[in-house]
């Protein structure tokens, strides 16, 4: 008789009856009741929220211009130091308030296990990075593999300006007190190399100006 009675209720009365049922339940009973009778609604809502978030993320990613991407190999940095450099470079390079970014990746290691090696290979081979900051040994190995562009080809006439900071054609960031202030690396020399696939000369030059301008 109860089911027949409920079927005759108006939508508003049915909602009120549902609320009365829920009020008399414990928290666990409420969760079980909602999952039993409304799991498809909850699943649909979760899927909708996920799709909206995914769409927003994709839309933002499409619109976001990456101004500079830097990988720091074997970094000692804490997250706050990495974020500070990232934010300072963004403030330096940005031309508008939104949809521009700078990436500083300090998670790449020269040694370690298979996962570390895979991360290193993926970063170096991605073709999406502009600068790699690394030790003398790593730089020499990658230079032999022609991973980097030469600094004269990147800087052109500006090369003479930064020649005092070069060592056999390699830029040594350890000569920059500003670089040292970020506490990202403990090894010396600290060489910066421009990836062969990067054509971001303008912002790379501004990166150098930021660290070496008197």
Report pLDDT digits (tens) over 56-80. Answer: 554 444 557 899 999 999 998 789 9
pLDDT of res. 105:
94
State the Rg of the chain over Cα.
Answer: 28
> Is the full-model pTM beyond 0.95?
no
Which pLDDT score, from 0 to 100, does residue 60 have? 47
What is the per-residue pLDDT for 15? Answer: 67
- Domain locations in the chain? 2-60, 65-212
Stretch (H or E) spanning 195? strand 191-195
Residues of the chain with pLDDT under 50: 1-2, 4, 55, 58-61
- The CATH classification number of 65-212 equals 3.40.190.10
Among the listed residues 155, 156, 125, 128, the one whose alpha carbon sits nearest the alpha carbon of residue 142: 125
Scan for tokens 């008399």, then name that residue: 24
């Amino acid at each position: 008789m109860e089911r027949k009675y409920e079927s005759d209720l108006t939508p508003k009365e049915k909602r009120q009856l549902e609320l009365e049922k829920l009020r008399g339940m414990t928290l666990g009973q409420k969760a079980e009741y909602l999952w039993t009778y409304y799991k498809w609604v909850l699943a649909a809502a979760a899927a909708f929220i996920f799709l909206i978030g995914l769409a927003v993320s994709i839309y933002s990613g499409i619109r976001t211009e990456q101004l500079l991407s830097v990988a720091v190999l074997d970094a000692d940095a804490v997250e706050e130091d990495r974020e500070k450099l990232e934010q300072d470079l963004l403030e330096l390079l940005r031309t508008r308030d939104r949809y521009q970014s700078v990436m500083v990746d300090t998670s790449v290691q020269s040694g370690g296990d298979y996962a570390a090696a895979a991360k290193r290979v993926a970063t170096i081979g991605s073709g999406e990075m502009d600068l790699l900051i690394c030790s003398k040994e790593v730089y020499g190995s990658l230079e032999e593999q022609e991973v980097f562009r030469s600094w004269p080809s990147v800087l052109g006439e500006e090369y003479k300006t930064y020649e005092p900071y070069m060592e056999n054609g390699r830029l040594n960031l350890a000569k920059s007190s500003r670089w040292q202030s970020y506490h990202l690396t403990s090894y010396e020399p600290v060489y910066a190399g421009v990836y062969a696939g990067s054509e971001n000369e303008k912002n790379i030059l501004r990166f150098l100006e930021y660290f070496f301008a008197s």
